[in-house]
Chains A and B, each alone.
Chain A
Amino acid sequence: MGLWIEILRSSILAAIPIALASLGGAFTYYTDVFNVALEGMMLVGAFLAVIGSYFTGSWAMGLLVGALGGLVIGIIFALFAVYMGADHFVTGMALNMFAVGGTTFTLRRLFGIKGALVSSRIVGIPSWNIPLLSKIPVLREVISGHPFAVYIALLLIALSHYLLFRTKWGLRLRAVGEDAQVLDSLGVSSRRIKTLSILGSGILCGFGGAFLSLGYVALFAEGMTGGRGWIALSVINVSRGRPWGLLLVSLVFGFFEGLGMSLQGMGLAPQFPQMIPYIITIVAVYVYSRRERRVKAA
């Protein structure tokens, strides 16, 4: 029982960065921007969050700076991909590369370190007990007492759902993906909406990265996103960009990541449990392609 509660707790923690990144990617999914820069946005977010927290001694500043870092990558992406007509895939890959180079370079330059920045000056996101929930026996142990950003993430998901499906802006955003020219002909700039969706995805990915480095752990390691941006991309495909759907899929991923971590303590070679999230991603792509085929057949 204790073990399962531990796994469920860690699966929520592991799910949040992926959920946030895929929520960001959902915005660009609807505007038909092939956003492969999720990984880079997350990495920059994770790095700057730690830097912000290190120098200001405040986790809130860390989160803010991390989200801004994602935003900056988003701005560059929009500039090149939307306004200069560069290929989305190419721009995204170059930005991922830029994120890897930029973070390792700055780490070397500021601290003279290679590898990981671990310091007591990095202030993590504090945990938070939900007033009412903390009275309920089992649920309390699973849901309550997480870094409070978990609850902010849930709020963001609800907000995004409302934004995408219940507002004029959301309707326009989804229309851009369907047919951008129709919008332009009606006097709504599809370029502007595409740009906004990219900036939004930048902020959310930056926030997701910040959660990874300040909520999940309190350190930065080179390349610490470990493909989570790509996993997020497949989460978006599987859930078709529906905010609640992608939370659910992210939780499944989180569960397997948590399971993997628990298995590592059981004498198995650690490399096999570490493969689990990536293999699960392949399985998810399989499930998606099966369903896609059924939809086409129907």
Chain B
Amino acid sequence: MRHRRVILFSLFGVVIAVTVGLLLLWALGYSALEGYAYLLEYSLLSRTALFSTLSRAALLVLLGLSASTAFASGALNLGQSGQFLIGAMAATVFGLFVNLPAFLQIPLSLAVAALAGMLYASIAAFFRRRFNMNELIVTLMLNFVADYFTQFLIAGPLFEEGRQSPASPAINASGWFPVYKGFDTGILVALLAFILIYLLWNRSKTGYEWTIMGQNSIFSRIGGCPNEENFTKAMLVSGALAALAGALVIMGGIQHRFMPGIKANYADDGIMIAIVANNKVVATAIYAIMFAIMRTGAMGMELETGVPLEFVHVLTAITVLFVVASREYSQYLIDRFSAFLRARRISSRIEDYAGRDSSGSMD
């Protein structure tokens, strides 16, 4: 019952957000419906479009799961963008200096990236456990550090001679994800990660303890859960997922090299997705696909109707606000309404009682 209500009001929020987006486009003098139609056409209605939406969705699923795993267990890891960059850099370095057969190269490269992401996330986890330092600020600040550090690497030690702008050389071809008729097999990594994370949350002891810790950390401590360890685990898993997304960017696609701006807005989107999905695993995947459709289709929309593709950033933010607000406000209204009904029932009962009482005394 409660589940269905959440879905209903989330849908309601999405509808409102889409409508607000339409009104906004219309007010700015664009042909709004046409824009939306192109948005869908360029993200779903051809094989290339669909596959590129899926590739993007793979990244967003990983980053969304990274954020939701952290948030749902009460760890405020906002370091997705830093962990993503470190993961991408680890995959780049591994791909540049190691050259094994593909069946070894690809899994090892992913493992190295995931480890690097864990290591980077563990800095904040360590500071939190050792010095009780707020992980929110620390992870955020480490994002900037990672950004500048990777910029330094591609402009200095890893710079490919002869290029106009900073970038690393391309990684060894054995580390590239095979592409079948336009389908980037890196997508399967995200699928696998999704299944594992789903099982972790729903079928494992750690997942159960994370759930309890996220809802009430004092209760879980009293219940005997090792909160400290679970916090570290959540941070590490979160870091590894974000780093995997980074590795996917390097190992998939066309460029296969670390270039400035590869992080795009993926990490911010991942955080938004987790928030709008209320940190639920399946919902995270659904919203990740929705965001991927919007992001991919935005380019087509810009091409056909001239709406700047940045419009989609505004649209996603509006969606998040309205979905969250409609979910939480509806709960508030329902609570109030049921309280009102209860109060009326009680008061009518009191009146009945009083009425019977007074009529009794009349006799």
Contact = CB atoms under 8 A, between A and B. Distances in A.
Interface in B250-266: 265
B290 to A, nearest CB: 15
B133 interface: yes
Contact of B324 (A90, A109, A269, A272): A90
Interface string B139-161: 01111110011011001100000
B138 A275 contact: no
Interface string A260-296: 0000000001011011001101100110111011000
A49 to B, nearest CB: 20
Interface in B98-152: 127, 131-134, 137-138, 140-145, 148-149, 151-152
A57 interface: no
Contacts, number: 132
B275 A84 contact: no
Contact of B156 (A102, A105, A269): A269
A101 B308 contact: no
Contact of A80 (B138, B156, B308, B321): B321
Interface in B142-184: 142-145, 148-149, 151-152, 155-156
Interface in B316-336: 316-318, 320-321, 324-325, 328-329, 331-332
Interface in A59-118: 76, 80, 84-87, 90-91, 93-95, 97-98, 100-102, 104-105, 107-109
Contacts of A282: 127, 133, 137-138, 141-142
A230 B137 CA distance: 7
A227 interface: yes
B272 interface: yes
Interface in A210-253: 226-227, 230-231, 233-234, 237
A272 B148 contact: yes
B268 interface: yes
A292 B141 contact: no
A30 B328 CA distance: 25
Contacts of B331: 85
Contact of B131 (A87, A100, A101, A286): A286
Contacts of B329: 84-86
Given A94-B272, A102-B314, A105-B308, A227 B141 contact: yes
A233 B137 contact: yes
A243 B314 CA distance: 34
A263 to B, nearest CB: 13
Given A90-B275, A93-B275, A230-B141, A271 B152 contact: yes
A271 B151 contact: yes
Given A97-B313, A105-B308, A109-B308, A272 B131 contact: no
Given A94-B321, A279-B141, A85 B314 contact: no
B271 interface: yes
A100 B320 CA distance: 14
B272 A289 contact: no
A84 B268 contact: no
A98 B132 contact: no
Contacts of A80: 321, 324-325
A95 B317 CA distance: 7
Given A269-B156, A271-B148, A93 B137 contact: no
Given A84-B328, A97-B320, A275-B149, A234 B155 contact: no
B51 interface: no
A292 B131 CA distance: 10
B310 A105 contact: yes
Most B Cβ at <10 Å: residue of A108, A230, A272, A285? A285
A186 to B, nearest CB: 23
Nearest to B24: A105
A101 B141 contact: no
Nearest to B157: A269
Contact of A227 (B131, B138, B144, B318): B144
B328 A87 contact: yes
B198 interface: no
A100 B141 contact: no
B131 A289 contact: yes
B222 interface: no
Q: Which of A94, A108, A279 has the most CB of B within 10 A?
A: A94
Contacts of A288: 133
B1 interface: no
A97 B133 contact: no
7 contacts: A86-B325, A90-B320, A97-B316, A98-B318, A105-B310, A230-B141, A237-B134
Given A269-B156, A279-B145, 7 more contacts: A90-B324, A101-B310, A105-B314, A107-B310, A274-B148, A286-B127, A289-B134
